[in-house]
Amino acid sequence: MHMVVLTKGVPDFREGQVSFDEDGHLERGKTPTVMNPNDRFALEAALQTRVRHGGRVSVMSMGPPGYKEVLREAMETVYADDLHLVSDREMAAADTWATAITLSAGIETLGEPDVVFAGFKTADGETGHTGPQTNWCLDMSLVTHVISLDIDEEAGTLRAKRLVEGDIEEIETVETELPAFVVADPEFEPSYRTAGERLTLKDLREETRARAENYEEHLTVRDHADINVDPDYIGLDGSPTIVSSVDPIPKAPAEREATMVDPDDAGAMQDVLTAMQSAVGDGDGGDAAAAGGD
Amino acid sequence: MTDFDPGDYEISELGPAIKDIDDLGELEEILQAEHRGQNRAPAVALIESRIEKFSEDDEEPADADELDLASMSTAEIGNILQNVEEVSELESLLEREEAGENRDPVTRLISNRIDSVKGSDEEDTEVEVDDRPPEERHPDLDHPTRDKRHVRSLHGGTYRDMWVYCETQAGELVDVSKEMLGKARELMDAYNDDYGVSEQGSEASETESRADDERVVAVLIGSDVSKHVEDVIACGADVVVVREDARLERFQHKPYTEIFCDMARAGATHQNFEVEGGRDESWRDYDKPRYVLFPATNNGRDLSALVQAELDSGLASDCSGLYITEEVISNPVKTGVAGEKKEFQRVLHMKRPDFSGFEYSTILCIDNPTREFHPQGASVIPGSFDLPEPDTEREGLVVEHDAPLDDDWFRVTVTDFDRLDEGIDLTGHEVIVAVGRGIGDDPTKGIELALDLADQFEDADVGVTRGIVTGSFNFDGHVEQYTHEDRQIGETGQVVAPKLYVAAGISGAVQHKVGMDESDTIVAVNTDPDARIGDFSDYFIEGDLFEVLPRLTSALKEGRFEAAVASDGGRAASTPPAGTPDAGAGAAADERGESR
C-alpha cells in the first residue's frame, strides 16, 4: 500500500502569537510557520491505514525551502517514510487551481499511490479546494469530509463515513474502489482496534524517531522542471484569482458604558454578581422569548 | 460640497461606492452627512476607515530596507510598495518576505511591483504578450501540462448570465440556495441597469426585461428536484436548468460536477483555447456562464472547487459579500503588458472574512490575456444574505438536461445515510457564556471554566467566537465538541439575545458584536482594558479569565462574592479537581452527553 499525504505550512495563529497594530491590522510579526492543524487529520488517517495494512507513507508539500521543517513535523506525526517538497520561485503566489495542478504533477512523479490524503481547509485562508481540485487532475475516486475509514486491501475497496452539512447534518457511508483520494474532516477519529495494531503503532513511533532526526536524508526537493510542469500553469501566472484588497474589519462603535471592575475588589465583584443574578431573575419566569430573535 | 449622500446606499453598497473617493475633505463631509442622517454604526466605521487610510497615504515614503515586513499587513505593504522604484530593493523585500512570513498575497504584491517596475524600465524592449505556445518558450520541458485533460482552457469565448447551484437536502431546498438566488437577482438587476442599456443603445422601460438582459440561471440536480422549479423562479431565477435521475438521489462529486459542467458548456468541449462541438440550445448563446455561485456547505464547496477546475477558472470560497464593478489591475500577468494598467469591466468582487477573523479579503477572478478565467466563481456562507420574499407572479424558463450519464462517474456509491440530531441551538437560553481567543494559554481549561460557570445557571449554554472555530487550538477530546461551528456566535454563526451574556477572552470584533449585542446584560472578562468588547458591555472585569471565571463560579455557588474571594488565592486554588464530571443541571449538561 502506497499512501501520499499532502500538507502545508501556515502561520501559527494561536493566541499569544496574534497582536494588532494601532490601526487594527493584524501583526503577523515573528509568527512561526507550523503545519496546518487540519492536516493532522489527514496524517492520522494515513497512519491508521499504514498501521493496519503496512506499506509506505510519503508526505508532500508545496512551498518555500522553509517548509522542510513542516515536513519534519509531518514525519513525526505520521511516521512517514519519505518527504517531498515541491519548491520553485515559479510556484510562488499560486491560488488553489495552480496549486492543484502543481501538486497533481508532483504526486504523479511518485508513481501511482493507492490512497492520497489531504486535510480540509488550512488555517491561513485557503479553503478546502486544493484537495478536490488536485484529485480532479488525478481522477481517482474522491471521498471528502471523512470521519472514519476502513480499507479492504484484498478487495481493493475503501469504505468511509463522511459528514454532510446544510440545513440538516447527516453522516453518509460511502464505498469505492482504490485508488482513492481522501479528504479528512477535522472530526476524523482514527481507531486502533487490536493489541497488534497498537503495538505496530508503538514500533513505528520508535522507528520514526530516529528517522526524523536525519529527516533531510529522506527529503527530495523538486522544481517545476523536475515535475515537468509548464511555468504558465503554476504560481501567479497560472492563478485565476488575485487578492485585490485586504481591509480590517470595521470596529464596532461603542454602545454601552461599561463599568470597569477590578477582579480583586470584592465589593465591585459583588456588584457584578448581583447584576448577573438579577439579570437571570429569581424565579419570576422572565421572557426568554427575547432570545428567539434568530 | 459633495453631492454624495451615504443615505442612498445600503451598508453593503457603501464600501464600493466610496472606494473611489480619495478627497479627505469630501470624505469628512460624507461622514458628517451620515451622522446627520441615519448614523448607522457600520457606515460610520466604513467611512472612518476610508479616512484613516488616506491620512496614512500622506505619510513619507518609507525606506524599503528598513521596513519591518513582518509587522505590516498586506494592505500596508501594498501602499508602501507604490513608492519603491528600485528592483534590487524590491527583490530584497521579496526574499525577506519569503524567508519570513511568506504570505501569498504579499509575495504576489511584491512580484507584481517588480514586474511593473521592470516593465517601465525596459520600455521598448519586450513588453508584448509572448503568445508563442509553451512548447517553444520552454523547450526544456516535454509539456505535459498543456496536454493534460484537466486544463480545459478557452480563449476568445463569450460569457453571460449568473448561474446559481441550488442545493437540496432531504428533498428540500437548502435556505442558502434561496439566499443566493435573492442576491443573484439583485446583482443582475443592477448589472443590467449598468451594462444592458448602453449596449442596446436605447432606454428600455423599467418593468419590461430587455432582450439582451443577462439572467439568473438556477441549476437543480437530484432525483426529485423539479418540484422546486416554481420556488427557485419565485426567488429570482429567470431560467432553471434541471437534471433528474434516480442515480442522483444523493450528492456525488463526479456526476454532479460532470453534469453541471455539461450544462454550463452546453455539451461542448474546451481544449487548447478552442471550443469543440456542443448542443444548440435556443435559450442561450454563450460558451460558459459569466458568474457562478455555490453554497459554502460541505458538498457545495466541494462542487464549486471541482466545477471551477473543470471549467478552468477560479473562485473565492466562504464569501459574505458580493458586488460587481470595474477594477483597474496593474498585475502584468493579467494585463499582458508590464507597467501598464488595465481596467477590467464587470468584475465580481468577492469579499470574505479572512482566516484570522480580523480582516476581509476581496478576491477577484480575472482573465489572463490568452487564457480566460470564466466563470468567476464564489461560494457563499449560509445566512450572509437575506431570504428573498418569493414572488409567485414571476415567470421563468425551465430547461431539462438529458445528456447521457457515464457509468464511470458513479465509482463512489452512497450505501447508507443517517440524519444527525438537530444542531446546537443557542438562541433560547437565559444565559450564554462565550469564550474567545483569550483561552489560548490553556484552551481546554478555558472551555472547562466556561462550562463550570454555565453550570451555575438553570438554563445556560456555552458559545465560542469564530476565532476559536477557525483557530489552531488543540483541545482535549472531552471539550472539543464545544469548539465547533455549531456553537459559533456572530455574523456567520448564531445570533443570541440572552438575559445574561458573559464574554470571556473576547476582544469584540464587529462580527461577534452583531451576534450578541441585543443581550440584556453583558459582562466582559478581559486582560486588555482597551478591548473593544468594553464598548458594548455593561461590566468589564479587567483580569485573566483563568482567575476570574472560577471566582465567579464559586461566588455563584455561595450566593455571594466576599466569601469566595476570601478563600481564593488565584488560579491554583480555583482549579477544580481534574476528571470530575460536572454534575450541572439544565440544557448545558444535557447536551454534553458522554463527555470525558
Q: What is the pLDDT of residues B15-49, one digit of tens each?
A: 777 877 777 888 888 888 888 887 777 788 778 87
- Name the residue in chain A with its Cα closest to that of B500: A279
Grid cell 490575456 is found at B369
Which residues of chain A are within 8 Å of residue B306 when distances are taken between CB atoms? 132-133, 136
* CA dist., res. B379 & res. B352, Å (int): 10
User: Tens digits of per-residue pLDDT, B284-318?
Assistant: 999 999 999 999 999 999 999 999 999 999 999 99
CB pairs under 8 A between A and B: 448
* CA dist., res. B10 & res. B43, Å (int): 9
Who has greater pLDDT, B44 or A70?
A: A70
Across the interface, of B104, B108, B170, the residue whose CB is closest to A168 is B170
Question: Do B159-196+212-276+285-410 and B431-590 agree at the fold level?
Answer: yes
* pLDDT band per the 50, 70, 90 thresholds, residue B124: very low
Of B352, B547, B553, the residue nearest B451 (C-alpha): B553
Q: How many whole angstroms from its chain centre is CA A210? A: 26
Q: Estimate the share of chain A in helix, then strand, then coil, as percent rounded to the nearest 5.
A: 35, 25, 40
**A256 touches B at CB < 8 Å:** yes
Q: State the DSSP code for B387.
A: P
What local confidence, expressed as pLDDT, does residue B73 receive? 73
Share of chain A above pLDDT 70, in %: 85
* Portion 19-48 of A in contact with B at CB < 8 A: 20-21, 23-31, 33-34, 36-37
For the record, the C-alpha cell of B70 comes out as 513582518
* pLDDT band per the 50, 70, 90 thresholds, residue B363: very high
Break chain A into its structural domains and give their ranges.
2-233
In this predicted structure, the answer to whether residue B127 has a pLDDT above a threshold of 50 is: no
**A96 touches B at CB < 8 Å:** yes
Grid cell 469566595 is found at B564
* pLDDT band per the 50, 70, 90 thresholds, residue B131: low
Across the interface, of A246, A275, A286, the residue whose CB is closest to B521 is A275
What local confidence, expressed as pLDDT, does residue B297 receive? 92
Inter-CA distances, B269 with B154, B220, B258, B302, B451, Å: 10, 22, 12, 22, 57
What local confidence, expressed as pLDDT, does residue B353 receive? 82
* CA dist., res. B468 & res. A28, Å (int): 18
CB atoms A11 and B510 under 8 Å: no
Who has greater pLDDT, B447 or A244?
A: B447
How high is the ipTM of this complex? 0.85
* CA dist., res. A215 & res. A221, Å (int): 12
* CA dist., res. B412 & res. B251, Å (int): 10
Among positive and negative, which fits the CA dihedral B155, B157, B161, B163?
Answer: negative
CB atoms B513 and A26 under 8 Å: no
* CA dist., res. B296 & res. B377, Å (int): 12
Of B355, B375, B395, the residue nearest B158 (C-alpha): B375
Instruction: Identify whether the C-beta of residue A127 lies closer than 8 Å to the C-beta of residue A158.
Output: no
What local confidence, expressed as pLDDT, does residue B200 receive? 47
Who has greater pLDDT, A21 or A223?
A: A223
Break chain B into its structural domains and give their ranges.
6-122, 159-196+212-276+285-410, 431-590
Instruction: Identify whether the C-beta of residue A116 lies closer than 8 Å to the C-beta of residue A234.
Output: no
Query: Coil, strand or helix: which one is B279?
Result: coil
Which residues of chain B are within 8 Å of residue A28 when distances are taken between CB atoms? 70-71, 73, 101, 103
In this predicted structure, the answer to whether residue B590 has a pLDDT above a threshold of 60 is: no
CATH of B431-590, one of 3.40.50.720, 3.30.360.10, 3.40.50.1220, 2.40.50.140: 3.40.50.1220
CATH of B159-196+212-276+285-410, one of 1.10.357.10, 3.40.50.670, 1.20.58.190, 3.40.50.620: 3.40.50.620
* CA dist., res. B594 & res. B545, Å (int): 26
Do strands B359-365 and B342-353 pair parallel, antiparallel, or not at all (unpaired)? Answer: antiparallel
Across the interface, of A132, A168, A288, the residue whose CB is closest to B305 is A132
Provide mean pLDDT across the span A223-235. Answer: 90
CB atoms A66 and B172 under 8 Å: no
- Name the residue in chain B with its Cα closest to that of A12: B472
* CA dist., res. B57 & res. B79, Å (int): 7
Q: Is B95 exposed, middle or buried (0-12, 13-18, 19+ CB in 10 A)?
A: exposed
Class of domain A2-233: alpha beta
Across the interface, of B145, B327, B500, the residue whose CB is closest to A280 is B500
In this predicted structure, the answer to whether residue B107 has a pLDDT above a threshold of 90 is: no
CB atoms B141 and A24 under 8 Å: no
Instruction: Identify whether the C-beta of residue B237 lies closer than 8 Å to the C-beta of residue B390.
Output: no
Those residues with Cβ within 8 angstroms of residue B234's Cβ, 6 or more apart along the chain or in another chain: B390, B391, B392, B394
**A18 touches B at CB < 8 Å:** yes
> Does the predicted TM-score (pTM) go above 0.80?
no
Across the interface, of A24, A241, A261, the residue whose CB is closest to B539 is A261
B108 dihedral zone (left: phi>0; alpha: psi -120 to 50; beta):
alpha
